[in-house]
Structure formats: C-alpha cells, structure tokens
C-alpha cells in the first residue's frame, strides 16, 4: 500500500493524490460511504460502484463484531467476500461507538468493558482485541483503538485520554507486528490524533502520530458537537504537523461545506453517516443548496430530483414523486434519497480534485460554500 501526492493547490493546502491498495486505487480527496454492518443502508453493492461511484467504503468493527461475528466473517473469507464487494474497505476500531455508549461502558488502562446494544451482553475490547477483530474482518485500512473524548471536555481529562490513546496505539502496533493478515492481502494501520479542542494537546498528539511513520494518519475526536470554527482550527493545527507524503483522514466529517473547507486545510479522506441519515429524513444535498423534500412546495413539482445530479435516480424520478415516497415512508424513497446524496458527495469530491489539479480550487470552493448552505 502506498500514497502518491500528485498535485498541491497553490492558494490553499488542498492536495490531489492516489492511494493504492490491494483492492484497487483510490483517488483523493475522497469520501467514504458508511457501511456499518457490511451494508451501506438500503443500497446494493452494484449501486455503490456504478451509481454512487464510491472508491472505498467504511465498515464498523463494533457492529460487525456483535453481528454477524468474526466466526462467520472468517468462514466467508473476510468482509469483502461476505458482502461480495471487491473494492477497498476501511474499518474503524470501535472506539467511537464505545464513546457514544457513555452510559454502558467502563474505560480502564487495559481496555473498555461495554454492554451490547443488541442483547445487553458484556464484552471487553482491548487494543489487541480491536486489531484481532479487524484482522478477521479483513479491511484494507484498519484503525487504531482510541478513546474519542466528548465535547465539551475538561482539559485534564482530554490530556489523560490522549496519553492513554498513545499507549493504546503502541499496543496496537505491537499486535499488528505479532499477527499476519488472514486473507492474503495487505492491511495498513492508521493511528488517530486526539486532544479535543486544545491546541497544545493536538500538537503533541500530531507529533506522536507523525513519529510512528505509518502508511496514513487519522484525526479523531472532532465533529462531536464542537462549532465548525473549532473543527477547522484543530484540523489546521494537525495538518501542519502530519507528514505531507501520507494520506490524512478526518473521521466522521461532515457536511458538504465541512468537506470543502477541510480539503482546503489538507485533508484527503472523509467519512460520515450524514448523507444517508439525512436522506432518510428527506434532506437532499445538491449543488444549488439543501432541499427538504417533505416540504409542501415540492408537492406538484414534476421536475427531476436534481438536473445536475450524476446518478440515474436524479433525472429518472421527480421531486413530487420522491416527496410522496418519503412522506408515506416507502423504503424506495429512502433508497432514492440515499443514492442521490451519496452520489452528490462523491461527485463533489471528484470536482474538488479536478479543480485542485487545474488550479481553480480556491475560487471554486469559495463560491460553492455559499451555494451549498442555501435552503431551497
């Protein structure tokens, strides 16, 4: 696995690159649709590739560990074969899910004891266990086990948590070195920068992560409720330190505007449930702004969902029809909206890459962030 930095924007930190894995190449900047339990919710694998044009998707270690479990995944030959998807996959380590279950987990130096949201059973994740589970899942890129701090977060807690995340990272690397991939292709471990919204902690963590000389690096603990200004400020602090020749992954971000602003700060990879989660509530992202398809103004609008859209659903169905499907909670409506939103996110990344390469990124980005935030 390797990363090639192909072009650097002259007026910002935006970059265009290529990440090569054993399951194919990924052109950056890139957005990764979230396939939590081995499925991008409501979307077929052929639609992921042909309609949405995703180049890599994300799976969730915590959820896949609970169901279907590593025994089934190993018997299938790993997640790729289980879901019949032959492009790159990234798995998170489960740290974020543990963070989000604050009422039913206990964190110690050894690891995290948590209660399953499925059946109430208790489980214990350690850095070593997180690596072992991700070996069984078989993703191309796997994440270090970390603690994601909440927002707001006390400085001393953020500092203690960051130090522990660094110690857990050392244990993750040891376990990676003591184990082999199970399915005959390479897996790359990305460490995660933490430090909440404290500049000195983010700088310290970024230096620690940079010194591991990993194949790629991630920024975690953001997009957890902090203002956008804090998200951008911390991202800028960290990208100034992380090595330029390695891909940078900003976890859990974000809106289309967030993506463009963070590309300008030097981020290469993103994931977020927003395009699919918001689609299920009738919110559509378009190049002209945001549509709430449930609004009455679309009731008799028989124009295409998005004449500028890149997927077939955008011109095949009308706004009025999609409004009807969403309002009646027909599953087809959720599928159409999800395909539209994800295809829009991927098209936005492709356009950003083109603009970086041709030298017009900053001018284009500044115009787009105004349009993208408009309510239609």
Contacts for 65 with CB less than 8 Å, ≥ 6 apart: 94, 123, 133
The answer to whether the annotation marks 99 as part of a ligand binding site is no
Q: Give the other-Cβ count within 10 Å of 167's Cβ.
A: 11
The answer to whether the annotation marks 194 as part of a ligand binding site is yes
67 in any annotated domain: yes
3-state secondary structure 305-356: CCCCCCCHHHHHCEHHHHHHHHHCCCHHHHHHHHHHHHHHHHHHHHHHHHHH
For residue 112, give both structure tokens: 């995290």
For residue 121, give both structure tokens: 């059973």
| 170 in active site | no
Q: In what order do the strands lie in the sheet with 248-250?
A: 30-32, 269-271, 248-250, 217-219, 192-193
Q: Do the Cβ atoms of 231 and 222 come closer than 8 Å?
A: yes
370 in any annotated domain: no
Q: Where in the sequence is the domain holding 118, given as residue range(s)?
A: 2-273
Nearest to 221 by CA among 143, 142, 139: 143
The answer to whether the annotation marks 146 as part of a ligand binding site is yes
Cα 244 vs. chain centroid, distance in angstroms? 20
The answer to whether the annotation marks 358 as part of a ligand binding site is no
For residue 359, give both structure tokens: 């030298």
358 in any annotated domain: no
Q: Do the Cβ atoms of 208 and 166 come closer than 8 Å?
A: yes
278 in any annotated domain: no
pTM, to two decimals: 0.97
CATH number at residue 239: 3.20.20.105
105 in any annotated domain: yes
Q: How far apart are CA 273 and CA 97, in angstroms?
A: 13
The answer to whether the annotation marks 93 as part of a ligand binding site is yes
65 in any annotated domain: yes
Cα 168 vs. chain centroid, distance in angstroms? 22
| 314 in active site | no
The answer to whether the annotation marks 96 as part of a ligand binding site is yes
The answer to whether the annotation marks 92 as part of a ligand binding site is yes
309 in any annotated domain: no
Q: How far apart are CA 144 and CA 130, in angstroms?
A: 8
The whole-number pLDDT of residue 104 equals 78
> 140, 268, 271, 306: which is the annotated catalytic residue?
271
Q: Which residues pair with 3 in a beta bridge?
A: 19
> 92, 140, 306, 314: which is the annotated catalytic residue?
92
Q: How many separate domains does the chain show?
A: 1
184, burial (CB in 10 Å: exposed 0-12, middle 13-18, buried 19+): exposed
The answer to whether the annotation marks 77 as part of a ligand binding site is no
The whole-number pLDDT of residue 94 equals 83
109 in any annotated domain: yes
Q: How far apart are CA 45 and CA 351, in angstroms?
A: 23
In tens digits, the chain (376 residues) has pLDDT values of 999 999 999 999 999 999 999 999 999 999 999 998 999 999 999 999 999 999 999 999 999 999 999 999 999 999 999 999 999 999 999 877 777 777 778 999 999 998 888 898 999 999 999 999 999 999 999 999 999 999 999 999 999 999 999 999 999 999 999 999 999 999 999 999 999 999 999 999 999 999 999 999 999 999 999 999 999 999 999 999 999 999 999 999 999 999 999 999 999 999 999 999 999 999 999 999 999 999 999 999 999 999 999 999 999 999 999 999 999 999 999 999 999 999 999 999 999 999 999 999 999 999 999 999 999 9
């Amino acid at each position: 696995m390797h990363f090639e930095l192909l072009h650097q924007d002259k007026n910002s930190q935006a970059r265009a690159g290529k990440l090569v894995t054993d399951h194919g190449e990924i052109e950056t900047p890139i957005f990764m649709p979230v396939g939590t339990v081995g499925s991008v919710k409501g979307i077929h694998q052929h639609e992921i590739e042909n309609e949405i044009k995703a180049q890599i998707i994300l799976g969730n270690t915590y959820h896949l560990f609970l169901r279907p479990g590593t025994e089934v995944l190993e018997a299938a030959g790993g997640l790729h074969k289980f879901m019949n998807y032959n492009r790159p996959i990234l798995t998170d380590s489960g740290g974020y899910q543990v963070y989000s279950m604050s009422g039913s987990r206990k964190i110690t130096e050894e690891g995290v004891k948590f209660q399953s949201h499925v059946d109430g059973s208790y489980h214990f994740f350690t850095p070593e266990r997180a690596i072992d589970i991700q070996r069984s899942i078989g993703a191309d890129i796997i994440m270090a086990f970390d603690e994601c701090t909440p927002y707001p977060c006390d400085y001393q807690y953020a500092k203690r948590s960051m130090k522990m995340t660094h110690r857990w990272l050392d244990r993750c690397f040891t376990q990676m070195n003591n184990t082999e991939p199970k399915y005959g292709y390479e897996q790359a471990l990305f460490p995660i920068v933490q430090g909440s919204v404290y500049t000195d902690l983010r700088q310290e963590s970024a230096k620690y992560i940079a010194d591991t000389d990993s194949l790629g690096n991630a920024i975690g603990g953001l997009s957890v409720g902090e203002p956008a200004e804090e998200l951008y400020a911390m991202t800028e602090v960290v990208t100034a330190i992380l090595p330029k020749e390695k891909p940078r992954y900003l976890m859990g971000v974000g809106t289309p505007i967030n993506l463009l602003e963070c590309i300008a700060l030097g981020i290469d990879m993103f994931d977020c449930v927003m395009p699919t989660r918001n689609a299920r509530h009738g919110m559509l992202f378009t190049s002209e702004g945001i549509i709430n398809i449930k609004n009455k103004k679309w009731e008799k609008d028989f124009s295409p969902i998005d004449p500028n859209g890149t997927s077939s659903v955008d011109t095949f169905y009308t706004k009025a029809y999609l409004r009807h499907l969403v309002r009646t909670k027909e599953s087809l409506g959720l599928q159409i909206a999800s395909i539209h939103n994800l295809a829009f996110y991927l098209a936005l990344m492709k356009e950003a890459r083109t603009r970086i390469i041709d030298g017009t990124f900053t001018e284009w980005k500044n115009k787009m962030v105004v349009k993208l935030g408009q309510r239609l």
